[in-house]
Amino acid sequence: MGIIQEIVFQVIEILTLIFGVLGITFSTMLMFSPRLTKNLSNILNRNVNVDEKIRFLDKDIEISEYLYSHHLVVGLLLIFGSAFALFFFYFSLDIAQFINVFFDSPTQVFFGEILLKSILWVGKITCLTGLFFGGFLMSAPRKMKKWEKKLNSWFETGAVIEKLERSSDNVDSFFFRHPLPLGLMGAGVSFLIISLSIINLLN
């Protein structure tokens, strides 16, 4: 496991070094040749319309009638799956052994244990909820259907999506109005990233 972690960290450091070099290159271009940078930005700017490609996903899939017409089978499956997962969370999962597989240092083990315990609590609550709804679906499907209809809500997100889809030149205009300070800032950050990446790679 340590070898895999080392390979992953080295790949991240190399990618960070590459992005740092790109950052310092564009920052230098922005400081000394803002017109060339602007022309390059105009060439790289692209407007991609994905509405046509994902239109097949924008469909209503009605499964409520199927679930309520087979409420005994669906309820049993929900109860069985929740009970199996709950048994695994409580009796089969060894937290200490699981953490030692992925983490080595005491600090990593400490934070890994907090993260895993939080995930386990969410999983246990989800399983208990599944047991409740599975039993309720088996015993009172009509009442559950009424609850579902009351809880169903329609949220209109079209206006928000339309605002996000509008192109804006404010960011580019801001950068090209202040090329020197922003270029210096970008070069400084990129130099720091490159230095840290080289130090980590050499160590």
What's the mean pLDDT when you consider all of the chain? 78
For residue 100 the two structure tokens come to: 């030692």
Residue 80 has pLDDT above 90, yes or no: yes
Per-residue pLDDT, 7: 76
Between 13 and 131, name the one with better pLDDT.
131
Place of tokens 């609850």: 147
DSSP letters, 29-62, are HHHH-HHHHHHHHHHH------TTTSGGG-----
For the chain, percent of residues with pLDDT exceeding 90 = 7
Residue 110 has pLDDT above 90, yes or no: no
d(CA 20, CA 26): 10
The dihedral region occupied by 58, where left means phi > 0, alpha psi between -120 and 50, and beta the remainder, is: beta
pLDDT (tens digit per residue) in 191-201: 888 888 788 77
Would you place residue 93 in the very low, low, confident or very high pLDDT band (cuts 50, 70, 90)? confident
pLDDT (tens digit per residue) in 137-189: 888 888 887 877 777 766 666 666 666 666 655 666 677 777 788 888 888 88
pLDDT (tens digit per residue) in 16-32: 888 888 888 888 887 88
Between 108 and 133, name the one with better pLDDT.
133
47 contact partners, CB below 8 Å, separation of at least 6: 167
Per-residue pLDDT, 83: 92
